[in-house]
Structure 1
Amino acid sequence: MYFHVRMDVAIPPELDPRQRDELVAREKKYSQELQRAGKWPHIWRIVGEYANFSVFDVESTDELHTLLSGLPLFPHMKIHVTPLATHPSDIAAH
């Protein structure tokens, strides 16, 4: 199942800079593990924002929720999920 996910990040400005750096490093490691595993095949930065558009390829909504809530930055994110379906005009789908 494919899902389009928008993630907007808002790290509290009062967070200690060392804690922030450690948190961002853990986020990068976790997200790259998911990418290597094929669960997170696409990620794009949204220009001018601390946000991204991503596509996840997972077995269920429960799996997606588990992966997203496992993100170290999850407590500092606003996330919007859109389920995706094959488009009948997609030449790659036939």
Structure 2
Amino acid sequence: MLFLVRMDVNIPHDLPEAQAADIKAREKAYAQALQHDGRWRHLWRVVGEYANYSVFDVASNDELHTLLSGLPLFPYMKIHVTPLAQHPSAIA
């Protein structure tokens, strides 16, 4: 199942820098592991925002929820999920 996910990140300004840096490093490692195993198919930055659009390829809604809630930055994110279906005019 494919899902388009928009993630907007809002790290509190009063979070200690060392703690924020640790969270970001863990986030990067987690995201890259999911990309390597094929479940995080695309990751695109939104220009001028601390946000991204991503495409996930997972078996279920529950799997996607588990992956997203496992993100180290999850407590600081607003997430919008759009399930995707094959378009009848698509050639791929």
TM range (shorter): over 0.9
2:34 alignment partner in structure 1: 34
- Structure 2 distance, partners of 1:64, 1:41, is 13
Which segments of 5 or more consecutive residues in structure 1 lack a partner in the other structure? none
SS of equivalent to 2:40? coil
d(CA) in 1 for partners of 2:71, 2:56: 13
Structure 1, residues 17-68: CA drift from partner, whole Å, max 9, x if none? 0001000000000000000010001000000000000000000000000000
Give the distance between the partners of 2:13 and 2:23, measured in 1 at CA. 13
For the pair 1:13 / 2:27, whether they are aligned, the reply is no
Q: TM-score, normalised to structure 2's length?
A: 0.99
Matched, 1:70 2:67: no
Distance, in Å, in 2 between the alignment partners of 1:41 and 1:4 is 10
Q: In structure 2, how many angstroms separate the alpha carbons of the residues matched to 1:91 and 1:37?
A: 25
Number of equivalences: 92
